[in-house]
Structure 1
Amino acid sequence: MTDPSRTGASPPSGSGFAVVELFTSQGCESCPPAEEVLGEIERDARRRGEPVYALGFHVDYWDYLGWPDPFGDPAYSARQQAYARAFGSGQLYTPQMVVNGTAEFVGSDRRRATDVITSALAVAATAPLTLTVADGPEGPGGGRPVVVDYRTERPPTRAVLNVAVVERDLTTDVARGENAGRTLRQDNVVRAFTSVAPDGAGQVHLDVPPDLDPRRASVIGYLQHDDDKVVVGAAAVDLAAPPA
């Protein structure tokens, strides 16, 4: 059965969506429970066919504790800093969960996440978005570009279109740092990310790492105000059929 939340189409007219961004790090001992919550959110959304889109952004500012997060990127730390400025807090912490660019809370708080996501699903998208994945020169993955065609209606002024490639079911044996000796399983880890100024329709290219498995990967796109960070439309599409 096709999962309607992963077909590339925006949610049905009048329905809402939830973009769930988790800022996390393998070097943070408080983060694994939040990553479990993110995985539960992703799996529940797939099972129910709900337009809930989970993204795990791995920051790099805990690397000094002895374990450089292999998925960490200073650009993701900068993204979290932009949220801190928009929220007026000026504070960075992990694990932090942000839903639709408007609500933030400790990422391991499953009850809070459920409440915020439920509220988000009740608010209709104001800028519907559709995504289609076209293969790069030799297909997605393998270090070759993922090409994403998008179409949107009524993109707001000063909006950005964020496009991410996320990968599920990743495991890492952590040798040092606060999680030393643990094997961490993580879902919807952001492996590639870019932001562009959207037109009504266009194309986005993302360079993905050579070890990305397209059978476990999806593209998530979401339209966001550049100033107050409110997310106004979102969609997702799988890169390939999941493994049998």
Structure 2
Amino acid sequence: MTDASSTGANRARLPGSQAQDVAPPNGGFAVVEMFTSQGCSSCPPAEEVLTEIERDARMRGQPVFALGFHVDYWDDLGWPDRFADAAYTARQEAYARAFGTGRLYTPQMVVNGTVEFVGSDRRRAATAIASGLTSATTTPLTLSVQDYAAGTGAGQRVVLGYETERPPERGVLNVAIVERGLESEIARGENAGRTLRQDNVVRAFTSLGLDAERAQVELQAPPDLDPRQATVVGYVQNDGDKAVVAAAAVDLSAVAG
């Protein structure tokens, strides 16, 4: 069992990491969600920003959690994104309703469920992340991988245990498996002829109501997931205004061998 825990937000230490742990003492954190597509020519620069954000946070030991949600509404415009999912489009639509904008676009970055902007805007990203890291949280979250099975053609099974305290009345736990170091050769569409390297790609995702402060959740990851490059991210969110109130992560590499 691999466990990650703290009083507000946490990330499992990478094996051999020499970075100093500078996690904020107030439990601050930043959940950075990017809505993107391989069919969008404006998205690769934004994904580079997301990669830099996650890489820098790992080096510094900061609780910053990056997730790249590939939407599917670009798929009919020249190139079907192999990571796209209608559920991720629905998630972006829910944010559009919460923000009152009613519009979808890529690349869009959302930080802690409350701030949105064009994903390639490094300055806005830095400001929003810094704000999240300095904000106090009162909802602790602990994650642990209870079981992992590589499986065969059906995919890979991950059973995650979670424990939290004082969740919001309409709290939702989101759990994602993200993978780094993925490459795709794009044959058509706006990025035709390019080889895209993408990190923090959401490969599995689920949401559940927080009816209990302690329970398990199971995710089915695709067969080609490389657990050595994968992390499970969990974050508690208000179902109403979409504010994220707790987050944690644990690397699958520690349990996959």
TM-score w.r.t. the length of structure 2 is 0.88
- Give the aligned residue type for 1:153: E
Structure 2 distance, partners of 1:120, 1:104, is 13
Matches within 5 A, 1:86-97: 86-97=98-109
Matches within 5 A, 1:213-228: 213-228=226-241
| Per-residue deviation, residues 145-194 of structure 1 (Å, max 9, x unmatched) | 11100000111101100000000011100001100000001111000000
Matches within 5 A, 1:25-104: 25-104=37-116
Asked whether the equivalents of residues 139 and 246 of structure 2 are also in contact (C-alpha less than 8 Å), the reply is: yes
The structure 2 residue matched to 1:170, chosen from 162, 166, 182, is 182
- Give the aligned residue type for 2:227: P
- Give the aligned residue type for 1:58: H
| Per-residue deviation, residues 104-160 of structure 1 (Å, max 9, x unmatched) | 000000111011100110001221101001223457998121110000011110110
- Give the aligned residue type for 1:170: L
The aligned residue for residue 7 of structure 1 is 12
Give the unaligned 5+ runs of structure 1. Answer: none
The aligned residue for residue 190 of structure 1 is 202
Q: What secondary structure is seen at the aligned counterpart in 2 of 1:135?
A: strand
Asked whether the equivalents of residues 23 and 58 of structure 1 are also in contact (C-alpha less than 8 Å), the reply is: yes
Q: What secondary structure is seen at the aligned counterpart in 2 of 1:37?
A: helix
- Give the aligned residue type for 1:31: C
- Give the aligned residue type for 2:223: P
- Give the aligned residue type for 2:243: V
Pair 1:206-2:206 in alignment:
no
Specify whether residues 155 and 54 from structure 1 end up closer, same or farther in structure 2 by C-alpha distance, changes over 3 A only: same
Asked whether the equivalents of residues 46 and 107 of structure 2 are also in contact (C-alpha less than 8 Å), the reply is: yes
Give the unaligned 5+ runs of structure 2. Answer: 14-22
| Per-residue deviation, residues 184-233 of structure 1 (Å, max 9, x unmatched) | 01111000000011211000100000000000000000000001100000
| Per-residue deviation, residues 72-124 of structure 1 (Å, max 9, x unmatched) | 00000000000000000001000000000000000000111011100110001
Structure 2 distance, partners of 1:242, 1:29, is 37
- Give the aligned residue type for 2:230: A
- Give the aligned residue type for 2:245: V
Q: How many residues align?
A: 240
- Give the aligned residue type for 1:65: L
The aligned residue for residue 17 of structure 2 is none
The aligned residue for residue 16 of structure 2 is none
Pair 1:22-2:27 in alignment:
no
Q: What secondary structure is seen at the aligned counterpart in 1 of 2:106?
A: coil
* CA RMSD between the two structures: 2.3
TM-score w.r.t. the length of structure 1 is 0.93
The structure 2 residue matched to 1:230, chosen from 216, 238, 243, is 243
- Give the aligned residue type for 1:221: G
Structure 1 distance, partners of 2:213, 2:25, is 18
Asked whether the equivalents of residues 151 and 200 of structure 1 are also in contact (C-alpha less than 8 Å), the reply is: yes
The offset of 1:13, in angstroms, is 5.2
Specify whether residues 147 and 242 from structure 1 end up closer, same or farther in structure 2 by C-alpha distance, changes over 3 A only: closer
